[in-house]
Amino acid sequence: HVQLVESGGGSVQAGGSLRLSCEVSGSIDGTNCIGWFRQYPGKEREGVAAIVTLGGTTYYDDSVTGRFTISQDNAKNTLYLQMSNLKPVDTAMYYCAVGPPDGSSWSSVFSYVYWGQGTQVTVS
């Protein structure tokens, strides 16, 4: 049974920074792509960033490239999303998820099997 628990969300002013964490517990077989998604009220979840656990290849949505950094700490089974130069448009619920064996479909919600409960980020 795989569980993901996000933390680190909060309220910041535009230009500020936050670091989201996603602790993964349970057994995951093989290589996986672990991603961060966000969801605006009334909208579908959209891919923000992802990382392939074996090799560390990363993927970013154009809207966050240069501002967000995804990383992993395998010893702690934790995924991070460092968010800098935050903008009001980044205000959303952020979710982490475990998905496909590679990054070819990293931004598709349908590629992911396990999801966390989400953490709210508010930028004013």
Q: What is the pLDDT of residues 81-90, one digit of tens each?
A: 999 999 999 9
Cα–Cα distance, 55 to 91 (Å, whole number): 30
| Contacts for 7 with CB less than 8 Å, ≥ 6 apart | 20, 21, 22, 23, 119
Residue 108: how many other CB atoms lie within 10 Å: 15
Name the residue type at position 19. R
Identify the pLDDT of residue 31.
Answer: 72
Identify the pLDDT of residue 100.
Answer: 82
DSSP state of 101: S
- What are the average pLDDT values for consecutive 10-residue runs of the chain, which has 124 residues? 94 98 84 92 96 92 98 92 98 94 89 95 98
Cα–Cα distance, 52 to 58 (Å, whole number): 7
